[in-house]
Structure 1
Amino acid sequence: MTTQVRRPAQVLAAVERASDALDLFGRASARLRRLVPFDAAVWTATDPETGLVTAPMLVENMGSGEGCAAYWESELLEENVVPFRDLARAAVPAAGLRAATGDLPARSARFRRLLGGQGVDDELRAVLRIGDRPWAVVSLFRMRGGTAFGPDDIALLATLSGPLAGRLRRFARPSGADPEPGGSAPGLLLFDEHGEAASINEEARRYLALLPDGPSMPSALGVRLPIWLIGTALQARAIAGGRDRGSARVRIRTRDGGWLSCRASCLSGPGGRPGPVALVIEPATPADLAGIVAQAFGLTPREFEVARLVAGGLSTAEIAAALVISPHTVRGHLKAVFGKAGISSRGELVATLFTERHQPATGPAAGPM
């Protein structure tokens, strides 16, 4: 086995027994540090449909949550070199800051505003993706006095993109747990035109208590706001300012194995200028989760479409007519879905991909963030 093949194999072997996404990040980071030395790192899951950061997030040697929030604000609202949104679509999903700027990292607003002042000399970043679906992003940092990340370092991280994403998406599968049903009233957070949290309802406080631990920011409301929610609100501002056409929405897995859906939109201020941002948190619906669960099982778009029509009650003949394919092809797709999801009937298919059993409980708060 050549060195180029052995190096990624070492990382993948290290993560094979990871119990969850955060454990995978820790194992991958520890092994990768031996192959590509770095001083600090940020690993974070992303929503595979929007690319926005979500839980969990692992931050190593990069300071406080305040610095983390500034990093994502720069990422979403400023002109930067190789932003993650571009890497998600690039032929090579990894890039070094110095390599991309001709050894002039100050061309990047992220470096001028943040990284340079923190003593960072170079950043190697990548999107962990399958096709066009990003499951995580990673940034590795070398401080002053170190060498720049070279072509072999970039190539190694790019090689790991798909295999690590494939392992990460397994953790989005239903856990089998059935949390106690709770109220479905939406939580509401309002950010003023300066991005400061201005008001919150009690439902939002309860949902915040269900979120996993991770980098967060203090607020004047008496609660800490996770970076994932701040990033979603920043994305709404980016869309309102014409910097992105994406969606300000993210799904977050809770402490009890359920899911919450968070959506943000920027309201209009005086004269049509962007005003406050409203962020809604509520239990994820089956429609919210069907796509992400299907991707977690590795279903193709056609297989997912067949599964969706099965959930709608259509027969094999009706599905064949709707998709203009043969009944034999429909049965072939269903066989593939059953095999990937580990199920044996249409009823199990609907229960696994399209039921409400993935919603989180909304009972008493689980403790401070």
Structure 2
Amino acid sequence: MVNAMAAHARVREEIVRLVHRGLSVPEFSRAVGDALRRAVPAEGTCLMTTDPATMLPTAEFVENGLPAAELLRLVEIEVREPDFNTWVQLAHAGRPAGSLSEATAGDLDRSLRQREIRSPGGFSDELRVVLAGSTGTWGQLTVFREAKRPYFSPAEVEFVSSIARLITDGLRRGLLLGGAQAGDDDAGLLILDADDGVRMSDKAADRWLDELGTGDRAGARLPLVISAVARQARSLCGTAPSGAPAPTDLRPARARARTRAGQWLIARGSLLNNGPEPQVAVMLEVARPAEMAPLMVAAYGFTDSERRVTELVAKGLSTKQIAGRLHVSSYTVQDHLKSIFAKSGTGSRGDLIARLFLDHHAASLTSGVAAHM
């Protein structure tokens, strides 16, 4: 017990240092996985970034995990079929971490993803961690063990729960490393077949696909956010392949993701037909200030009132117009603006827009936002 407590303390201290090193998300993911395994032995990790408005995955960073095709099937199970300890369930639980063995009372094969994907891949128990702030989920971390290894203990689950906010802090910093670069507003369109094969794409879509990238996934054909949005579009318009009803808490087929150059895009999916081979149209476009406001203002710890004011500032409304929209006095709006300027380190509306949407830096901490665009 004493040795375990000492190991936990050392790992916690190491993660605190990692959080403040200004690492990119891939670097932070690898470093956290290495550190965590010294206190919670495991064979692999998978950290996925998510759009906080929909909880759809936007990118993944895997160490010794499942190949691309299996990972995409896991995403499909999450959004279309009932299972144990799903990300949505865990996000609403009383703690941010939970093991599959605990959720299934020790019978892992009760889980669809375990029977269909994880067990055939040689994996046993998994420990999931929701990486969330006060207003939404920004990432999902899975730690997994191979077959014939012991299940994660309650003490290990509790320890990981205790450092979930630390890991979230590091992820939020990594997501805002560097400034978002201004770009053109060309929208891209691609058409996907039932297997996510690209049937058609225009030049703008090709450029955005290249900018998003596929990471280091062997065999990956598309950025994860594209496949996730496409699968969600299918789930919104039909039933799961197994015939099970779709979940009742369906989320929009829409997600925001950053390119490798730091630019924010919005991906939106729409089902073109609902036959035996349904095609999905995915539209890609640069996220404009008003669309990014719900995502970016949380980086500065704004209150709900300050967030609403900032969104209206981004839309170009005057103080008087904002007061009328929010049913408050102009003096109240001015007080909110003073607090907004102080928190964001700006001195005017123009500075605020530039700071929030064109020049956000690693010193800013991203936080999830549960608002829909």
Q: TM-score, normalised by structure 1?
A: 0.84
Q: What is the alpha-carbon distance in structure 2 between the residues aligned to residue 157 and residue 332 of structure 1? A: 40
Q: Residue in 1 aligned with 2:19?
A: 15
The one-letter amino acid paired with 1:229 is I
C-alpha separation in 1, matches of 2:203 and 2:352: 36
Q: Which has the higher contact order (CA 8 A, sep 6+)?
A: 2
> C-alpha distance in 1, partners of 2:217/2:145?
24
Contact map agreement 1:47 1:250 (CA 8 A) in 2: yes
Residue aligning to 1:188 = 189
Q: Which amino acid aligns with 2:110?
A: R
- Cα offset, 1:189, TM superposition: 1.9
Q: 1:238 aligns with which of 230, 235, 240?
A: 235
- Secondary structure, in 3 states, of the residue corresponding to 2:38? helix
Q: Residue 87 and residue 313 in structure 1: after superposition, are their counterparts in 2 closer, same or farther (change >3 A)?
A: same
Counterpart position of 1:42: 46
Structure 1 residue 165: Cα displacement: 2.1
Going from structure 1 to structure 2, the CA distance change for 1:64 and 1:196 (only over 3 Å counts) comes to same
Cα 1:335–1:159 shift into 2, 3 Å: farther
Match of 1:365 in 2: none
Partner AA of 2:70 in structure 1: G
Name the residue aligned to 1:362.
Answer: none
4+ residue runs over 6 A deviation: none
CA distance in 1, matches of 2:149, 2:177: 43
Q: For 1:231, what is the secondary structure of its paired residue?
A: helix
Label 1:192 to 1:35 Cα distance change in 2 as closer, same or farther (>3 A).
same
Shift of 1:120: 1.0
Please tell me the residue identity of whatever aligns with 1:239.
Answer: L
2:367 aligns with: none
Instruction: Tell me the CA shift for residue 274 of structure 1.
Output: 8.7
In the aligned structure 1, how far is the partner of 2:218 from the partner of 2:303?
Answer: 38
The answer (yes or no) to whether the contact 1:128–1:160 under 8 Å persists in 2 is no
One of 250, 271, 274 as aligned partner of 1:269 = 274
- Return the letter of the residue paired with 1:130: G
Rate the CA distance shift 1:194–1:58 in 2: closer, same or farther, 3 A.
closer
Report the secondary structure of 1:117's partner residue.
coil
Identity between Structure 1 and Structure 2 (%) = 34
Whether the 8 Å CA contact 1:190–1:197 is kept in 2: the answer is yes
Post-superposition shift, 1:319?
3.9
Once structures 1 and 2 are overlaid, which stretch shifts more, 329-338 or 95-104? 329-338
For the residue of structure 2 that corresponds to 1:313, the secondary structure is: coil
The 3-state SS of whatever aligns with 1:58 is strand
Residues 34-63 of structure 1, C-alpha deviations (whole Å, 9 max, x = no match): 1111101101111111111113x2101114
2:136 corresponds to: 133
Identify the residue that residue 146 of structure 2 maps to in structure 1: 143
- Note the 1:166-181 alignment, pairs <5 A: 166-173=169-176, 175-176=178-179, 178-179=181-182, 181=183
Tell me, what secondary structure is at the counterpart of 1:59? strand
For the 8 Å contact 1:267–1:276, the answer to whether it is kept is yes
Q: Which residue of 2 aligns with 1:53?
A: 57
Q: Name the structure 2 match of 1:73.
A: 76
Please state if 1:109 is matched with 2:112: yes
Q: Which SS does the other structure have where 1:167 is aligned?
A: helix
Preserved CA contact (<8 Å) 1:15 1:27: no
Paired with 2:148 and 2:175, the residues of 1 have a C-alpha distance of: 40
Report 1:192-207 matches (<5 A).
192-207=193-208
Structure 2, unaligned stretches of length 5 or more?
A: 239-245, 361-373
Change (3 A) 1:27 1:193: closer
Letter in 2 for 1:232: V
Shift of 1:111: 0.2
Q: TM-score, normalised by structure 2?
A: 0.83
What does residue range 279-290 of structure 1 map to in structure 2 within 5 Å?
A: 279-290=282-293
Q: Secondary structure at the match of 1:189?
A: strand
Q: What residue number does 1:337 align with?
A: 340
One-letter amino acid matched to 1:70: R
Aligned partner (choices 297, 310, 315) of residue 313 of structure 2: 310
**Structure 1 residues 86 and 63, CA, compared in 2 at 3 Å: closer, same or farther?**
closer
Task: Name which of 229, 235, 258 aligns with 2:226.
Answer: 229
Structure 1: segments with no counterpart, 5+ residues = 359-369
CA separation in 1, counterparts of 2:277 and 2:272? 6
Which deviations, in whole Å up to 9, do the C-alpha atoms of 1:47-89 show, x marking residues without a partner? Answer: 111111113x210111432232232223223321111122122
Deviation string 1:79-114 (CA, Å, 9 cap, x unpaired) is 211111221222212110011101001011000001
* 8 Å contact kept, 1:66–1:217: no
Rounded to whole Å, the distance in 2 between the matches of 1:126 and 1:31 is: 15
CA shift digits 1:115-145 (9 cap, x unpaired): 1111111000011001241110011111122
Letter in 2 for 1:15: V
Kept in 1: contact 2:96–2:130 (CA 8 A): yes
Amino acid at match of 2:204: E
Preserved CA contact (<8 Å) 1:12 1:28: no
Q: Secondary structure at the match of 1:145?
A: coil
